[in-house]
Structure 1
Amino acid sequence: MRTAYRVETVRSAEAELIARLPEDALMRRAAAGLAAVCAELLGRVYGSRVVLLVGAGANGGDALYAGAALARRGAGVHAVPLAPGRTHPAGLAALIRAGGRVAEDPFAVLASADLVVDGITGIGGRGGLRPDAIPVARAARGSNAVIVAVDLPSGVEADSGEVLGEALRADVTVTFGVHKPALLIDPARALAGTVRLVDIGLEPVLPSVPELESPQHHDVAALLPEPSGESDKYRRGVVGVVAGSARYPGAALLAVAGALRGGAGAVRYVGHAAEAVVARFPETLVHAGPPAKAGRVQAWAVGPGLGEDRDAVREVLASGVPVLVDADGLRLLDAGDVTRRTAPTLLTPHAGEAAALLGVAREEVESARLAAVRELAARYGATVLLKGSTTLIAEPDGRIPVRVDPMGTPWLATAGSGDVLSGLAGSLLAAGLSPYDAATAAAYLHGLAARIAAAEGVPITSSEVARALPAAWHDVRAVG
């Protein structure tokens, strides 16, 4: 898992490490890594023009030491101090000794820069850029220079990924020791560009439980169910899918398509689209309903395209097996029906549905996704998969790391993709995964399938995402 830690945790670990090292040794490690990335981006360092936007404290010091290293290699380096009187003295002295200069006219040097190092605020910044930094940041962004952020793009909230004011968008962010939540969660993530992690020896002094986890191929491969010699279709699990209506029959087909590729041994469909489901997927077991009379299942997925069938939602939630609730099911559910359950529940809202469940504006969820998913999980006593540009998965126990899906792609912004995800995650629940792991694996495979389906760079449909799931599964297995 790629991990991310809160500022307080990072600072505590840094303090422990600094106490063991010579003065400024940790900063010099960070600066050396930053300078190496900058040199790589420049290609030819000698004769290049580099501008350092320097704030107060360690973030500015990192930029100054890196600038000194580039100046020694022949780059023309100018520093633009944005906190006069609080510029890191040793870093500034190192830059001057190496041949760097303090810019007399910040806008003139920015206009001709090849690379700009954003060392304005870093992990200590709050509430966006200060007014005096905004004109310089805008000039940097308006130039033709490559923007390299030191640890974080200046102006973003390190712990939450929120952007509460103006921020400086980076092309590359060089972060030190460990990822910070803002580098994994939108809207801040979209401002970070490509993220490069520099090892400064921090990992041994970090706690074992991070704030966030982001799975990779091998993590997901370890979660996927695999039949054994003793398996039959019932031992592998049966997932019940309650979806579709006269108005939205396609939702049933898409949810079943996802469920058939999710590892369960059988899919039992309950609803108004039975004929269409069997015609498309003859391996599906169908029943007109109600769900309680449809036969035994190991998990239910309810809600896609369901219309106004509140009774079906309540009946499924009254069962003693894991339940996934999505789409119309979220609109129809009663909070008490969820909190009273003893079996696990997985809720899979998008931002608008999450806002309705929390009683807030959609914009509030979109701007503070981490807070929203944690609040939803705690309030409903359920695992929550919050869909969006960054999909987040939270458990009711706030001590458990929130998982961030790294496979999201704008190609998934197409009608019905969430229905496929519901069926896929429900099938993984029926196959025996916990809601936390089922949501993690489903989101990852779903995003990877969309990337595979859109490999030619053309628009895709949700049906094509479902058809690409076996290829995604194979890809994960092959690497894992």
Structure 2
Amino acid sequence: MQAFTVEQVRRLEAVAMRVVPEGALMQRAAAGLAAVVATELVRRTGRVYGARVLVLVGPGNNGGDALWAAARLARRGARVSAVSVLGRPHAEGLAALLAAGGRLLDADALGDLARYDLALDGVLGIGGRPGLPEDVAGLVARLDAAHVPVVAVDLPSGVAADTGAVPAEAVAAAVTVTFGVVKVCHLLEPARSRTGRLVLVDIGLDTTTETPEIDAWDADRVADAWPWPGASSDKYGKGVVGVDAGSETYPGAGIMATYGAVHGGAGMVRFLGPQSAHPMITTNLPDVVFAAGRVQAHLLGSGWGERPDGTQVVADAVGSGVPGVLDADGLGHRPDTLPGSWLLTPHAGELAKLLGVERTQVEDDPLAAVRAGVDKTGATVLLKGATQLVARPGTTTVELAVPGPAWTGQAGSGDTLAGLCAAVLAAGRPAHEAAVLAASLQAVAAAAHPGPLPPHVLAERCADQLGAWWRERQP
């Protein structure tokens, strides 16, 4: 799935409008929207005829899409009421709704909102500012309190279209019907959680002239791209990971990173971390080797703490010409410039420190921040968090890993993720694929095994998930 910015959408629509009759795009959008709303009404109430629909109408084309769709529903017998909550409603759309038997009400005349079966959010579109006016926010809150499901038109009103930020009150939709292309906000948290089920309506836009802002992976694509071993693969063919992670203060980081590398499919793992981690690794992962030697990928930095020789260790690993993963404390020991074959795995706070900005700046515009991380370091960057983004040198498109549940948000998850990344990197995949595949695997495994599993146990479930994908692909 690909997503595009507001500026890109406007260019695509402008091109399309030069070759179709005036108003054709709006009618296509309205027809698709009405069809989705009708299906949702039938699913929830068993009918369209007689169902009660409330339309929240804002100015411009977003409100026009909602009104034209509402007119189609009214012609099918739905009891449609519209309320103008912001600006002047689209004149032709409103006239069509009234001609079809719909009504225009004042907000004060809405009465008990629980009598409505569904509400249509046509307040703000891609040109709207984030947040809602106080009176609109109040009405949206009343709908929520009355348990009235909302279908958002193009995007939930109040979210930031190009960043996914939700700086103030916004609609939380059960379904969002978007037109032509997916927008950035549909894929990035926290706006993604307010989008609900996303339905894309084709209105005839040709996206081949635009470079997508986001390339979002799904689980099938991850499974297809996984570096599955061949019949003749040996441990070196599958990849050897050298793990220098953890410290006497934080031995668990090295242990969890090792769990990730082993259960991510590495042919062998060489553990070069603290002595205190050896007993647990020996007991639970007896295949791990405690000696330096040939590796296909390095993993450095997780749980290092204050490490006086950290800068030299990183420099030696980079100088070896072997790709690697640099995580957590290791980020502070990086050279000024890294090759794109190296993967940095910061969370928002660590990326903010790397860039010399406040954490909120990274969280408010993660796309810009992850690209800035690439520009500053030369490396591939995986920004960890609720939305996991991967940027790399040479392209502006940011890749998005499969999203997962919030269960993974716990201490140590990043360590195991770094190990998973290193295993894929050692198998020969480029850094950006290693990041997307590993983060997606962890998310899919967490979704399949919900609950507060410790990160090293979730790493074991990652191996189970790989096994399930492998079985699905056998003849």
Q: Tell me the TM-score normalised to structure 1 length.
A: 0.91
CA separation in 1, counterparts of 2:112 and 2:61? 23
Aligned residue identity for 1:468: R
Aligned residue identity for 1:350: H
Which residue of 1 is the match for residue 40 of structure 2? 41
Alignment equivalent of 2:258, drawn from 244, 253, 256? 256
Alignment equivalent of 1:141, drawn from 140, 144, 148? 144
The C-alpha deviation readout for 1:268-297, integer Å capped at 9, x for no partner, is 11011234322321111113xxxxxx2221
Q: From the superposition, tell whether residues 297 and 117 of structure 1 become closer, same or farther in structure 2 (CA, over 3 Å).
A: same
Aligned residue identity for 1:333: H
CA separation in 2, counterparts of 1:479 and 1:67? 44
After TM superposition, give the deviation of residue 365 of structure 1 in Å.
Answer: 2.1
Which residue of 2 is the match for residue 291 of structure 1? none
What is the 5 A alignment of 1:177-216? 177-202=180-205, 204-207=206-209, 209-216=211-218
Q: From the superposition, tell whether residues 9 and 477 of structure 1 become closer, same or farther in structure 2 (CA, over 3 Å).
A: farther
Which has the higher mean CA deviation after the structures are superposed, 223-232 or 253-262?
A: 223-232
Which residue of 2 is the match for residue 414 of structure 1? 410
Alignment equivalent of 1:271, drawn from 265, 270, 273? 273
After TM superposition, give the deviation of residue 430 of structure 1 in Å.
Answer: 1.1
Aligned residue identity for 2:313: E
Q: Is the 8 A contact 2:386 2:403 kept in 1?
A: no
The C-alpha deviation readout for 1:85-142, integer Å capped at 9, x for no partner, is x421221111011100111345625723221111111111124224553333333333
CA separation in 2, counterparts of 1:186 and 1:110? 32
Q: From the superposition, tell whether residues 205 and 401 of structure 1 become closer, same or farther in structure 2 (CA, over 3 Å).
A: closer
Which residue of 2 is the match for residue 363 of structure 1? 360
Q: Is the 8 A contact 1:53 1:118 kept in 2?
A: yes
CA separation in 1, counterparts of 2:234 and 2:107? 74
What is the 5 A alignment of 1:31-430? 31-43=30-42, 44-84=47-87, 86-106=88-108, 108-109=110-111, 111=113, 112-131=115-134, 133-202=136-205, 204-207=206-209, 209-272=211-274, 273-287=277-291, 294-312=292-310, 314-319=312-317, 320-330=321-331, 332-334=332-334, 337-339=335-337, 341-342=338-339, 344-397=341-394, 399-430=395-426
Which has the higher mean CA deviation after the structures are superposed, 360-369 or 94-103?
A: 360-369
Q: Is the 8 A contact 1:173 1:196 kept in 2?
A: yes
Which residue of 2 is the match for residue 10 of structure 1? 9
CA separation in 1, counterparts of 2:99 and 2:357? 55
CA RMSD of aligned residues (A): 2.1
The reply on whether 1:451 has 2:465 as its aligned counterpart is no
CA separation in 2, counterparts of 1:285 and 1:328? 24
Q: From the superposition, tell whether residues 107 and 386 of structure 1 become closer, same or farther in structure 2 (CA, over 3 Å).
A: farther
The C-alpha deviation readout for 1:213-243, integer Å capped at 9, x for no partner, is 1111332123211223443222332111111
Q: Tell me the TM-score normalised to structure 2 length.
A: 0.92
The C-alpha deviation readout for 1:384-434, integer Å capped at 9, x for no partner, is 11111111111133x331111233211101221111111110111111111
Aligned residue identity for 2:347: H
CA separation in 1, counterparts of 2:469 and 2:309? 39
Q: Is the 8 A contact 1:338 1:345 kept in 2?
A: no
Question: For 1:234, what is the secondary structure of its paired residue?
Answer: helix
After TM superposition, give the deviation of residue 208 of structure 1 in Å.
Answer: 5.6
Aligned residue identity for 2:22: E
Q: From the superposition, tell whether residues 172 and 14 of structure 1 become closer, same or farther in structure 2 (CA, over 3 Å).
A: same
Q: Is the 8 A contact 1:394 1:402 kept in 2?
A: yes
After TM superposition, give the deviation of residue 477 of structure 1 in Å.
Answer: 4.4
After TM superposition, give the deviation of residue 361 of structure 1 in Å.
Answer: 2.6
CA separation in 2, counterparts of 1:343 and 1:22? 47
Aligned residue identity for 1:160: T
Q: Is the 8 A contact 1:453 1:464 kept in 2?
A: no
After TM superposition, give the deviation of residue 346 of structure 1 in Å.
Answer: 0.8
Q: From the superposition, tell whether residues 349 and 132 of structure 1 become closer, same or farther in structure 2 (CA, over 3 Å).
A: same
Which residue of 2 is the match for residue 290 of structure 1? none
The C-alpha deviation readout for 1:358-387, integer Å capped at 9, x for no partner, is 223323322222222122221121111111
After TM superposition, give the deviation of residue 250 of structure 1 in Å.
Answer: 2.1
Question: For 2:212, what is the secondary structure of its paired residue?
Answer: coil
Q: Is the 8 A contact 2:301 2:327 kept in 1?
A: yes
Which residue of 2 is the match for residue 463 of structure 1? 456
Aligned residue pairs, count: 463
The C-alpha deviation readout for 1:424-446, integer Å capped at 9, x for no partner, is 10111111111100001000101
After TM superposition, give the deviation of residue 343 of structure 1 in Å.
Answer: 6.2
Segments of structure 1 that go 5 or more residues without pairing to the other structure are: 288-293
Aligned residue identity for 1:101: R
Question: For 1:466, what is the secondary structure of its paired residue?
Answer: helix
Q: From the superposition, tell whether residues 130 and 104 of structure 1 become closer, same or farther in structure 2 (CA, over 3 Å).
A: closer
The C-alpha deviation readout for 1:326-360, integer Å capped at 9, x for no partner, is 12222x324xx151x34622111112222222223
CA separation in 2, counterparts of 1:381 and 1:440? 18
The C-alpha deviation readout for 1:3-43, integer Å capped at 9, x for no partner, is 10111111211222222222222211111111122122222
Question: For 2:271, what is the secondary structure of its paired residue?
Answer: strand
CA separation in 2, counterparts of 1:386 and 1:147? 32
After TM superposition, give the deviation of residue 195 of structure 1 in Å.
Answer: 1.4
Q: From the superposition, tell whether residues 83 and 317 of structure 1 become closer, same or farther in structure 2 (CA, over 3 Å).
A: same
